[in-house]
Structure formats: structure tokens, C-alpha cells
Amino acid sequence: MIAQQLVNGVMLGAIYMLVAVAFTLAIGILNFLNFSIPGLFMVGGMVTWALLAQGWHWSIAVGAALLAAAFVALLVERLSYRPSRDADPEVPLASALGFLILLENLFVIRYGSDQLSFPALLPDFNWRLGGLVIGGAQLVSLAVAVALVLWLSVLLRRTNTGRRIRAVAESRETAVILGVDVGRLVPQVFVSSAVFTAAGGVLFALNYLQVSATMGEGVGFKGVAAMIIGGMGSIWGAILGGLLIGLAEVLTIGFLGADLVDIAVYGLLLALLILRPEGLLGRPAAREKL
Amino acid sequence: MTAYQTGLLVILALNVLGAFAVYLPLSAGQLNLGIAGFMAVGAYAAAWLGNEQGWGATAAIAAGGGAAALVACAVAVPILRTHGIYLALATFALGQVITAVFLNLEPVGAAAGYPVTEHIGPAAVLLTTLGVAALVLLLSCTRFALCLTAIRSDAVVADLMGMPVRALKVAAFTLGAAIAGLSGGLYALHYNYVEAQHFGVMLSTYTVLYVLLGGTRSVWGPILGAAFFTLIPELLRASAGWRYAIFALLVILFMAWRPAGLLTGGLRLPWRRRAAEETP
Amino acid sequence: MTPLSLSVEGLTKSFGGLSVIRDLSFTVPAGSATALIGPNGAGKSTAFNLITGVYRPDAGRIRLGGKDITGTPSRRRIGLGIARNFQNIRLMPHLSVLENLLVGQHVRAGGLIDLLTPYRLLPKHRWRAEALAALAECGLERHAAERVQGLPYGIRKRIDVVRATLSRPGLLLLDEPAAGLNPTETQALHRHLDMLRARGMTLLIVEHDMHFVGRTCGHVVVLNFGEKIAEGSLAEVQRDPLVREAYLGGMAA
């Protein structure tokens, strides 16, 4: 029983992991707490659903959803991030929240706020291993999530783009002096971050066979929690944090009841922020100079 | 005055109170993303004291503010160890935890909601709001407000100038929570019903946005922000969904156009860059 | 104001293995004007940060007017009579000049009544009048209502000094007060400092401009790599071979 819970927790954690990676890319590289990410998560799930309902092939529907999320992310870059880089730190945060509210309400206006049932794309297939039952959708989600994260870590470590991104994360000014074209790199970061989130939204729909205009809120905010628990700006931290939140959630449901999930997850987050604000794998903040 | 106009005024009053509750700590540099949690504490405390302990409306609402202040004071010391974005996220988590606790608290109806017997009319809400607004405006003319601004601007220098930075931060956090609790109490007794779902992330978010849009460098900012964004959607007579969509669109456009808020607009804060260059 | 003496004994500080101040001892007699000089990176600003309590020393004692303040928290030191300006002018950019000066008075006006008096509604309030008078002494009163953010560098620099004096300190630490000032502003600063000394303020000044040091400071302490290498009058230390080597990077040796 516990083993089954652990498996379910890891599967859920894989989705949180994608969202947490999206958040951590934005904050680690751009120092931008991009609260529009829960909206992009919803765009991933809802656009796929809407196109499937129109009778489109699943691959085109998913591709279009990822493109839509990328497009919105570019708008966020243009309207939230870019104009307010030199303003108080609350300003880009507020603007990104504006995008979240806008996206949610546009989808509510078009499709209502109820849960919509998402068609089962995969044959109902269960893989039994010992006493464990692993669903086909779960397996696919895990595989896709791991593949995406591996691709990202290879990209960051091994490629020129990755080196440029890490240079910007270290010091934007120095990167500019060294000739990194930040103006081109930043939109790329936004697009990758959007693709991760939206992929998370699609996988969520695939697993739970439900989407809604507000589906991003719960998962998105837990993605933030996962990012912080792992350590802001750390990819491996986001992976660890995502898995921990997934496990904490599933185990709380299993042993304490579904009503206590938010208390457990956000209580954990609160405790960690107070006791170890840099997260499990993050670096402590640099001390102030006088 | 029609019932519609009165109802709108009450909503405006509650939004203004919420905006002040965000503004006070923000003037000391604390972005409280969990203000709805403190509103919930005030609402449930006032409702419970009225329902179960037979307290009168005035005492119950005041106690609602007091209860929120107590909770704030209790969590302030650990939570204010965090700064900047971490503090915003810690308050966000705190708000989520508080709401989730009420959602599971059987004595106050848990997820089913909690009907409230004591009732106050719109006049009481409006008068209380006016009173609080007068007090906050007066407070903004004191050295206390000056100290909060100094701490927001440069906490190290504020400390070297002899300011008790920690105590002032706790005071700002607690005062904000007290006002949030008061507004929660008014809400509970005016609408005679409390449900935890109302006090979610989105309520905190909207309240913070009123303040940021109005401008955080003047005490008139939160009033202006709350008024503008309560009344504009009404004037446009938009449906509920469009109302929020328009609000969000305005948020995005205003933040791109006037990042320092409607009132203190025009400041693009070049000092941030300059200050960084001057640091050896 | 009673001038206060300062003495540091065996002060030592390192950051993550990098030793910034090593066994530093010197005395600033009450009522004197003493200069702390040395090449860039010699540890002058760090010494200021240790004296004002921004950093804790790893070892050593700091005495103000004979009283040991080594363990006193930074925010209580201004109340004991130490005030400072900042090399990079840390005024509050969004506040007006007058409000910045009111911040400087805080240590004398931090009681509950002062804290909650709505001074902005009282144009003739005594704290405000005092701050304006201090500005007027330096000929800066016309900037009182302006935001600090938009003011020229030289004016901001001088207001930072005025702010430091408003706590009525017995010891004033000035970190490069003349850097970046034009000749007229430098003259005004000299007059200001003379006035402060006449009123009984001990001055400890970090400065690179040797003309400035010669004009104001009777006593000079020279630091290099966190250690005191010479002490005496300006003429004396200028003749010191160690000092010449430190400034000329070994060419004199």
C-alpha cells in the first residue's frame, strides 16, 4: 500500500517538477517570479482539450497547445518582464499575476468554469509489477517529464546556448559585456519555460482526464512551493522539490485525508522558508555590501 | 441611494480597507500575499464570537481585528526573518494554510460555510472604513510612517540611524493584519455568511494589485487603486468574467506604462541602477 | 555636544579567509580631526563598518570615550554618540531632503510621542525647524522639499554629511566626504567641518585628497593591507618610506 502511494506520489511529483522547473528557469536566469506560469499550465491542458473536441489529431492538438503557451509567454516577456526590469520588484510580479487572471477569465468566458472531461488518449493499460499498479498515462507522464528535464540539463551543461544562459544567470551585465545577445536569449528562456509548464498541463489532463479554466491555480502554486523547497534557481532543486511535494500530497491524502493537503504542503513550504530560505539545494543569498 | 449603489459602496469600502491592510506593511517593504488569510481570521473570529459567545457587533468586529493582529504578531518574528520575494512567498503560504485550516474547522462549519447571526448595515461598514482611513492618513503624517519608508528604502542605514528595525517591521505587519481582520469582521457581519473559499489566493492577489496599481509611495495610492478598480468595471457594466478580464488587462497595461502606480507614476526608478554602480 | 575620543585595539576582521583588517590599533583624541588614509583596498571602509557595528570584529576592542562598545549592537551606537556618512551616499532616494534629515534625527526623536506626532501637518514643528536650520547653515535650504533622487551628486554628498550631524554625535566618521565635489563645494565642506569642530565634534575622516587632509586633519593614520603602517602628522607620514612604498607600489623601494 505504501509502495503504491510512493509510486503515485512520484507520478504526481513529475508534473509538479515540470512546473517547478519552469518557475526556476524564470527566477534563476531572469530573477523574475513569473506568476503567469499557472496560466500557461492551464493553456496547455485547455487548448489541447478544445482542439481535441474539434476533432483534431492529438499530436496537432498538443503541438498547438504548446505553441499557444509559448506565444503567451512571449507576450508576458514583452509586457510584464521587459518594461519593469528596473522598477520595484513587486511590479513584474503584479503584471504576471495580471496575465494569470486574464488567461483564466478569458477561458472562463469561453468555456465556463466547470470541470471538463478530457478524452482518454491512451488505451486503458495497467502495468502490474509485484503488488503495484502503474497506469499507462502515469508511465507516459513520467517518461516525458524525465526526458524534458534531461534535455534541459544537457542543454544547459553542454551547449553554447546553455553556457550563454548560465552567464546571464550569473551576471546579466557581465554577459552583455561578453557579447551575449540578451535580447534574443531572454525570449528563448520564456519559451522554454512555457513549454515545460504547458507540457505539464497536457500530462495532467492525460492523467486525471479532467481540465478546467482554473486548473492552473492548485498545481501552479504547488509548483512554486516545489521550486522553493528545492532552492530557487536550481534545476535539480526543482526536480527534488517537485517529487517531495508530490509525495507529501499523496501521503497526506492516504493517511490524513484529502482536506489536509493544503495545510501539509503549504505548512511544509512555510516552515522551510523560515528555517532554510535558500531551499534544500539552493545557495545562500550573498551578503549585502556597504 | 439605490440598493445597488449602496451595495457598491460597501464593496468599495471593504476593498479600500483591504488595500490599506496591504499598503501598511508594503510601505515597510513587505509584500503580503496572504492578506486574505488575515481577513479570514477576522471574519471567523467576529462571526464565532457573535454566534457562540453572544458578543455584540461592535465588540465582535473589533475582536476580529484583534484576533488577526494576534496571529500576525505570533508569526511575525519567524516570518520576518525572510526578505523580499521570500517574504512574499512565505505570506502566500501562510494565507493558504490559514484558509485551509478554516476549511477543515468543524465548529465554524468547515467547507459548508458558516452563517452569521449578528448583522450590521451598510452605514456601519462605511463609517468604520472612514474612521480607519482617517487614522491611516494621520499615521502617514508621522515619524512612524517615515521610519517604515526608511526601512523599505535602506534597512541597514535605518538601523545605523538607531531605528528598531525589527520592532517597526513587526508593527507594520501586525497593523496591516489588524486592518485586514477588521475588514473580515465587517464582511462577515454585513453579509451574514462566511465561507473559507472566499478568502483564497485570488482575494489576496486582487487586493495587492489595487495597491500596486494605485501606487505604493503615497497613502492615497491604495484608496485610488481600490476605487478605480472597483468602479471602472461597474461603469463598463461588464459581466463577471469580463469584469476580471478587463481588470487584468488594465493591470498589465498600467504596469507596463506606469510601473510605479497611477499616483506616483512617471518614476522609472533609475536610482536602482545608479545605486548598484556606486557600490564599490 | 561633548567631543568623544575613540580608540581601537587589536582590531581584526576577515571575510571567508580573506584578512581585511589585521591587529589594527589607533587612537582618535577627543576634539581632534584625524584622517585615516591608505591605498584602495587598505581596509578603511571596513574599519568604519567595524566601528559603527555593521560588522563584528573577529578580535579586538573598540572604545568610545573610554567606554567599551565592542559588543554594542549597531543601532545603539548612534545613541552613544557615533554618527557616519556613507562613501556611496546612502540617502533614501524617494524621500525629500528634509525627510532624510528627519531620519537623521531619529535617535533623539524616537520616543512614542515623537513617533506618533503628525509632524507633516505641523509646519512649525521643532524637529522640522531644526533640520531646516541645519540645512541653512550649509546654504542648502532651497533643496529642502526636493526629492533626493533628482539632486546633483555634490549636493547629495553634502546632505549625507548634514544628516549624520543631526544625531548630535560626539564622534563623526566621514568616508570620503570630499570625493567628487567641485572646488566651491569643497570650500563649503571645509567651513562646515570647521564649524562642527568648533561645536565639539571629534572627526575621523577617510580621504584620498591630501590637500583636504592637510587642511583639516592634524593627525593621520595610514593603513595598507589592513595594517597600520604609519601614524603622525601629514608631513611626518609623507616622509615615511613604508607609506611611500605603499602608495607608489614599490617603485620608491
C151 within a domain of the structure (yes/no):
no
pLDDT in tens, B249-271: 988 888 888 776 666 543 333 33
C9-22 tens-digit pLDDT: 999 999 888 889 99
Contacts of A20 in chain B (CB under 8 A): none
Give the number of domains in chain A.
1
**Nearest C-alpha of chain A: how many angstroms from C86?**
8
Residue numbers of the domain that contains C65:
6-91+167-248
pLDDT surpassing 70 at residue C252 = no
Sort out which chain A residues have CB atoms less than 8 A from B270's CB and list them: 86
Neighbouring chains of C at 3+ CB pairs under 8 Å are: A, B
Domain count along chain C: 1
By CA distance, what is B103's nearest residue in A? A259
Neighbours of C152 (CB within 10 A): 11
In this predicted structure, what is the pLDDT of residue A290? 45
CB contact under 8 A, A259 and B104: yes
Chain A residues inside the 8 Å CB shell of C49: 290
| Cα–Cα nearest to C188, from C198, C199, C174, C177 | C177
- C105 assigned to some structural domain: no
Which residue of A42, A78, A101 is the best one to mutate when testing the B interface, meaning the one whose CB has the most B CBs within 10 A?
A101
- Average pLDDT on C193-198 reads 92
- 3-state secondary structure labels for all residues of chain A: CHHHHHHHHHHHHHHHHHHHHHHHHHHHHHCCCCCCHHHHHHHHHHHHHHHHHCCCCHHHHHHHHHHHHHHHHHHHHHHHHCCCCCCCCHHHHHHHHHHHHHHHHHHHHHHCCCCEECCCCCCCCEEEECCEEEEHHHHHHHHHHHHHHHHHHHHHHHCHHHHHHHHHHHCHHHHHHCCCCHHHHHHHHHHHHHHHHHHHHHHHHHHHCEECCCHHHHHHHHHHHHHHHHCCCCHHHHHHHHHHHHHHHHHHHHHCCHHHHHHHHHHHHHHHHHHCCCCCCCCCCCCCCC
CATH code of residue C61:
3.40.50.300
Structure confidence at residue B280 as a pLDDT band (50, 70, 90): very low
pLDDT band with cut points at 50, 70 and 90 for residue C249: low
Chain C residues lying within 8 Å of A290, measured CB to CB: 45, 49, 54, 86
Residue A73 has pLDDT above 70, yes or no: yes
Q: Say if CB B93 and CB A273 are below 8 A apart.
A: yes
Looking at CA atoms only, how far is residue A285 from chain C in angstroms?
15
Question: In angstroms, rounded to a whole number, what is the distance separating the alpha carbons of residues B109 and B20?
Answer: 29
Higher pLDDT pick, A285 / C126:
C126
pLDDT at A126 exceeding the cut of 80: no
Answer whether residue A119 shows pLDDT above 80: yes
pLDDT given for residue B263 in this prediction:
63
Q: Mean of the pLDDT values across residues B223-238?
A: 83
pLDDT number for residue A134: 79
pLDDT single digits (tens) B60-111: 999 999 999 999 999 998 888 887 788 888 999 999 999 999 999 888 888 8
Contacts with B280 from chain C: Cβ below 8 Å: 45, 87-88
- Residue C62: the pLDDT is 95
CB within 8 Å of chain C, chain A residues 251-290 = 290
> CA of A140 to nearest chain B CA: how many angstroms apart?
31
In whole angstroms, what is the distance from residue B28 CA to residue B144 CA?
Answer: 10
Cα–Cα dist A21/A82, whole Å: 21
Q: Is B143 touching C (CB cutoff 8 A)?
A: yes
- Residues of chain B with Cβ-Cβ distance to C90 below 8 Å are 154, 156-157
Percent of the residues in chain B that have a pLDDT greater than 70, as a whole number: 92
Whether residue C189 is predicted with pLDDT greater than 90 in this model: the reply is yes
Per-residue model confidence (pLDDT) at position C253: 38
Q: What is the pLDDT averaged over residues C181-196?
A: 92
Measured in angstroms, the CA of B57 and the nearest CA of chain A are apart by 31
Position B274 scores a pLDDT of: 38
* Cβ within 8 Å of A, C 50-69: 54
- For the segment C232-246, the average pLDDT, to the nearest whole number, is 89
Q: What percent of chain B has pLDDT over 90?
A: 61
pLDDT computed for residue B67 by the predictor: 96
Q: Nearest residue of A to residue B76 by CA position? A: A274
For residue B275, pLDDT beyond 50: no
**Among residues A24, A27, A15, which one has the least CA distance to residue A198?**
A15
The answer, yes or no, to whether residue B200 has pLDDT greater than 50, is yes
Residue B262 is predicted with a pLDDT of 67
8 Å CB contact of B94 and A270:
yes
Residue B173 has pLDDT above 90, yes or no: yes
* Residues of B in Cβ contact (< 8 Å) with A83: 255-257, 259
pLDDT, position B149: 93
Question: Which of 196-255 (B) contact A at CB < 8 A?
Answer: 201-202, 205, 208-209, 212-213, 216, 239, 241-242, 244-245, 247-249, 251-253, 255
How would residue B236 be classed by pLDDT, with cut points 50, 70 and 90? confident
Mean predicted confidence (pLDDT) in C237-247 = 87
Please name the residues between 96 and 125 in chain A that touch chain B, using a CB distance below 8 Å.
97-102, 104-106, 108-109
Mean local confidence (pLDDT), A48-75: 94
Q: What is the pTM of this model?
A: 0.88
Please check whether residue A94 is in contact with residue B208, taking contact to mean a CB–CB distance below 8 angstroms. Answer: yes
Q: What is the mean pLDDT of residues B149-174?
A: 94
Residue A122 lies in a domain: yes
Residue C228 lies in a domain: yes
Report pLDDT for B133: 95
Residue B130 has pLDDT above 90, yes or no: yes
- Chain A residue with the nearest C-alpha to that of C53: A290
Choosing among B26, B27, B89, which should be mutated to test the A contact, i.e. which has the most A CBs within 10 A? Answer: B89
Nearest to B161 among C106, C117, C118 (CB): C106
Which residue, A91, A75, A74, A197, is CA-closest to A145? A197
A100 versus A5: which is more confidently predicted?
Answer: A100
In a domain, C141, yes or no: no
pLDDT tens column, C40-95: 888 899 999 999 999 999 999 999 998 999 999 999 999 999 999 998 899 998 89
- Give the minimum alpha-carbon distance from A95 to chain C in angstroms, rounded to a whole number: 23
Cα of B132 to nearest chain A Cα, Å:
25
pLDDT average, residue stretch B28-52:
94
Cβ–Cβ gap A105/B86 under 8 Å:
no
Output the CA–CA distances (angstroms, integers) from residue A268 to A263, C81, C220, in the order listed.
Answer: 8, 45, 56
Please report, for residues A214, B166, C130, the alpha-carbon distance to residue B144 in angstroms, rounded to integers and kept in the order given: 41, 13, 19
Residue B185: name the closest of B131, B120, B236, B140 by CA: B120
Interface residue of C90, C107, C162, C208 to substitute, partner B, most B CBs within 10 Å: C90
Range of the domain at A196: 2-217
- A38–chain B Cβ distance below 8 A for any pair: no
Report residue C8 CA to chain centroid gap. 16
Q: A94 CB near a chain B CB, below 8 Å?
A: yes
| Confidence category of residue C26, pLDDT binned at 50, 70, 90 | very high
CB of B137 within 8 Å of any CB in chain C? no
Q: Which residues from B are below 8 Å from C92, CB to CB?
A: 149-150, 153-154, 157
- The reply to whether A119 falls in a domain is yes
Mean pLDDT of chain A: 86
B5 in contact with C, Cβ within 8 Å: no
List of chain B residues whose C-beta atoms are within 8 Å of the C-beta of residue A95: 251-252, 255-256
Inform me whether the pLDDT recorded for B243 exceeds 90: no
Instruction: Using pLDDT thresholds of 50, 70 and 90, give the confidence band for residue A156.
Output: confident
Tell me, yes or no, whether A41 lies in a domain: yes
Q: Which residues of C touch B153 (CB under 8 A)?
A: 92-95
Residue of C nearest to A287 (CA): C15
Task: Tally C-beta pairs within 8 A across A and B.
Answer: 149
For the cut 90, the answer to whether the pLDDT of residue A131 exceeds it is no
Average pLDDT, chain B: 87
Which chain A residue's Cα is nearest to B275? A290
Asked if C83 contacts C173 with a C-beta cutoff of 8 angstroms, the reply is: yes
Contact B65, B38 (CB under 8 A): no
Write down the pLDDT at residue C22. Answer: 92
pLDDT at B128: 95
ipTM of the complex: 0.90
Q: Is the pLDDT of residue A100 over 90?
A: yes
Question: Do the chains contact at B268 and A87, CB–CB below 8 Å?
Answer: yes
